Amino acid sequence: MTAQSIEATATAAVSAASGRSTEPVHGAEIIVPLNRLKASPRNARKVPHSVATIEAFAASINAKGVLQPPVVEIETKEDGTPTGNYLVTIGEGRRQGLRLLAKRKIIKKTHPVRVIVDTENDAHEISLDENITREAMHPADQFEAFNRLAVEMGYGPEEIGARFGVSAYVVRQRLRLASVAPELIATYRAGGLTMDQLMGFAVSEDHERQRQVFERISQNTPGYAVRRYMTEAKVELDDRRARFVGVEAYEAAGGVVLRDLFTEDGAGWLEDISLLDRLVQDKLDGLAEDAREREGWKWASAHFDFPYGETYSRVYAQAVERSEEACAAIAGLSAEYDQLVVEMEDAEAPSAERDARLEEIDAALQAFGPDFAYSAEDLSRSGVIVTLGYDGLARFERGLVRPEDVLKAPREASEEAWEEAGDANGEGEAVSGDEGRGTEAEADEGLAPLSERLVIDLTAHRTAGLQDALAQDAPLTLAVVVHAMALQTFYPGYDQTSPMSLRLGFIGLERLAPGVSEGPAGRRIGERGEAWRARLPAKAADLWSGLLDLPGSDLLDLMAHCASLAVNAVRDPHDRRVGAWAQAEVLATASGLDMTTTWTATASSYFSRVAKARMLEAVTEAVGKPEADRIAGFKKADMADASELLVAGTGWLPPVLRTAKAQAPDDPTVTVSDTVPQTDDGYAFAAE
């Protein structure tokens, strides 16, 4: 039928409805102009169609026409004569879709519409029947139908979306679901899988992997757990390596990114782990070499993690000496900079002049160079190690000295002091071996050096005198203790230059628990150490005079920092120090240790590393037994994830991390065993 004949038929239908011809009979198919179709007041659907639904109708009609004619009744006046309009009883959504196309000028307002006239049935009842007696297509049928259009018709996601009024992204989701292994689709149709689980499988198109994971899960396994199983051999986009290299660089090198179409955050995974690791190492190597050339280090190396198995001493940047004129200029520029910043904050409108002046001041301050710098001597014997931090940023450990590059200053200073002692006794050369082992009687034969035995005897008496003197001078003794501690903490390799035999046993916690230095407590310790390094002298020889200038409160703070680093409360099965563990618990109580500010129970930090009974115990303690019972049937990995979510924000801690409450000091019944968790609590050495 041509457009002219359709228009003619439509005109005839209108004339018939107006009484100029025979009125359409029940069941007749007629053509009516769109502007003659009206919404029926007797339509059972009172909640209007959504915008998305009307868009879908419009897209379908635009691509394929009206596939199912609306059912209409003839509108009449009060006297029963037709008005020339028709009320749409069934198909209001299609009418709205046509109106949307007319509004967008894709069709005319008088566009001919094929309709079916109903003059016998109750309009409200058939409208209700239309909306009740129907069943939506199973989602799996829809997925496969979309896939058939893509495969057989060659339609892309954009074209399919345009033909059905949905976004191309939704089409891609449905096509991805259609790519799941056929047996899993069949299981979904039969009700053996949920949509959430199916979306978890669809994260990858690897059918073999889908089948493997399907064998591992239970009926209650949540979709996020399925997704984790599907991607456990891949690297997430928020992994530190992926953030460091960048997805663009990884893809440019030929790497494949697996995208999740079913999460709002657009999660993804990098599939080529070996390529990613190579890119990370290449970038770290480049940063290390650049730092070596630009900053003048003797050597530079790059590692994913800091090589704690190697031993390094360290040198530190020293304050740059400036002339009085330079110091005055820097102070003046800094004051002007701060004043301009204040004026900009108070100003109602931005000022180009102020911005330009700030840039000038910043450039002038930069020209003075850094306030702290490494000496040429230190640069010539030390290096820098570049590592990958847990935040995906490169970390530079500068001023590291290899064992072969450590200056022999402590030993040489000791030998020089011994030689000077010989000089004071009348000889200008040191005594060693049998040549210096004369008897006291032989000392009468001229000014021979004192024997080693006599020197030991005399200096033993001197040591006793020093001990007695220090015992009567508490402030000086504090300085001596801090000096011995600070040498070991901040000047590795020079720790033997203190006369006090005080040894701090430092423990490398990062080696035992990777990432501990990036935790809240580790960061606070690192910041505290950096602050002290900036205050202490660059050379160990100047430490004593520097400490004597510090007030007693600062000495106590420095001692607390150094001593704290020697605390070891690690329960190592190969080093069973039960007494030390007990005292560590007493120390935790005395200090009011609150581990909720330092550690949080997550699937990776705790739940996936303990038995299911321990998980249920934690959930019961944190949120109650009903929640624990709800997840009791989960598989271990699923239970770990669920436990993390349930316990989050409750402040729950495993017993080994809890701090006993302090007891009244005058309670004679309290002993160490009353306040200290015993080592047989089941947490100390359970296998993971």
pLDDT single digits (tens) 187-196: 998 888 999 8
- For the chain, the first-to-last Cα distance in angstroms comes to 78
Q: What pLDDT does 22 receive?
A: 61
Q: Alpha carbon of 487 to those of 33, 112, 415, 417, 443: distances in Å?
A: 96, 95, 20, 19, 39
* Model confidence at 656: pLDDT above 80: yes
Structure-model confidence comparison of residues 572 and 639, the more confident one? 639
* Tokens 């015993």 belong to residue: 678
* Model confidence at 10: pLDDT above 60: no
User: How confident is residue 431, by pLDDT bands cut at 50, 70 and 90?
Assistant: very low
Would strands 257-259 and 112-117 be described as parallel, antiparallel, or unpaired? unpaired
User: How many distinct helices (H) and strands (E) make up the chain?
Assistant: 29, 14
* Model confidence at 170: pLDDT above 60: yes
Q: What pLDDT does 576 receive?
A: 64
The β-bridge partners of 384 are: 300, 398
> Among 148-162, 164-178, 446-460, which stretch is predicted with the lowest mean pLDDT?
446-460
* Model confidence at 525: pLDDT above 60: yes
User: How confident is residue 264, by pLDDT bands cut at 50, 70 and 90?
Assistant: low
The per-residue pLDDT for range 566-625, each reduced to its tens digit, is 777 777 766 666 666 777 777 778 778 888 888 888 988 889 888 888 899 999 999 999
The per-residue pLDDT for range 200-236, each reduced to its tens digit, is 888 888 898 889 889 888 778 888 888 888 877 788 8
User: How confident is residue 446, by pLDDT bands cut at 50, 70 and 90?
Assistant: low
Structural domains of the chain sorted by starting position, each given as residue range(s) with its CATH number in brackets: 3-132 (3.90.1530.10), 293-405 (no CATH), 428-564 (no CATH), 590-675 (no CATH)
Average pLDDT value over all residues in the chain:
79
User: How confident is residue 538, by pLDDT bands cut at 50, 70 and 90?
Assistant: confident
**How many whole angstroms separate alpha carbon 154 and alpha carbon 146?**
11
User: Residue 261 carries which side chain, given as an amino acid letter?
Assistant: L
**How many whole angstroms separate alpha carbon 142 and alpha carbon 608?**
38
Q: What pLDDT does 495 receive?
A: 55
Instruction: Select from 218, 172, 226 the least CA-distant residue to 198.
Output: 226
The alpha carbon of 564 is separated from its chain's Cα centroid by a whole number of angstroms, namely: 29
Phi, psi of 241 (to 5 degrees): -70, -40
* Model confidence at 90: pLDDT above 80: yes
Cβ contacts of residue 501 below 8 Å, gap of 6+?
Answer: none
**How many whole angstroms separate alpha carbon 480 and alpha carbon 498?**
8
* Percent of the chain whose predicted confidence (pLDDT) is above 90: 19
Structure-model confidence comparison of residues 238 and 654, the more confident one? 654
* Model confidence at 428: pLDDT above 70: no
Q: What pLDDT does 588 receive?
A: 78
452: Cα within 13 Å, side-chain hemisphere: 8
Structure-model confidence comparison of residues 294 and 664, the more confident one? 294
> Among 45-59, 81-95, 249-263, 340-354, which stretch is predicted with the lowest mean pLDDT?
340-354
* Percent of the chain whose predicted confidence (pLDDT) is above 70: 79
**How many whole angstroms separate alpha carbon 301 and alpha carbon 292?**
9
Average pLDDT over residues 55-84: 89
> Among 203-212, 361-370, 406-415, which stretch is predicted with the lowest mean pLDDT?
406-415
Q: What pLDDT does 534 receive?
A: 83
**How many whole angstroms separate alpha carbon 578 and alpha carbon 675?**
14
SS3 readout for 221-287: CCHHHHHHHHCCCCEECCCHHHHHHCHHHHHHCCCCEEECCCCCCCCEEECCHHHHHHHHHHHHHHH
Structure-model confidence comparison of residues 29 and 416, the more confident one? 29
> Among 253-262, 434-443, 517-526, 624-633, which stretch is predicted with the lowest mean pLDDT?
434-443
**How many whole angstroms separate alpha carbon 263 and alpha carbon 215?**
24
Q: What pLDDT does 497 receive?
A: 63
* Model confidence at 484: pLDDT above 90: no
Contacts 24+ apart (CB under 8 A), 160-167: 161/59, 162/59, 162/63, 163/59, 163/60, 163/63, 163/64, 164/56, 164/59, 164/60, 164/63, 165/52, 165/55, 165/56, 165/57, 165/58, 165/59, 165/60, 166/56, 166/59
Average pLDDT over residues 95-124: 92
DSSP 3-state assignment of 644?
Answer: helix
Structure-model confidence comparison of residues 379 and 10, the more confident one? 379
Average pLDDT over residues 103-115: 93
User: How confident is residue 680, by pLDDT bands cut at 50, 70 and 90?
Assistant: very low
* Model confidence at 301: pLDDT above 90: yes
Q: Alpha carbon of 395 to those of 437, 462, 492, 527, 531: distances in Å?
A: 55, 48, 21, 14, 18
Average pLDDT over residues 19-48: 83
* Model confidence at 420: pLDDT above 60: no
**How many whole angstroms separate alpha carbon 607 and alpha carbon 525?**
27
Average pLDDT over residues 319-341: 87
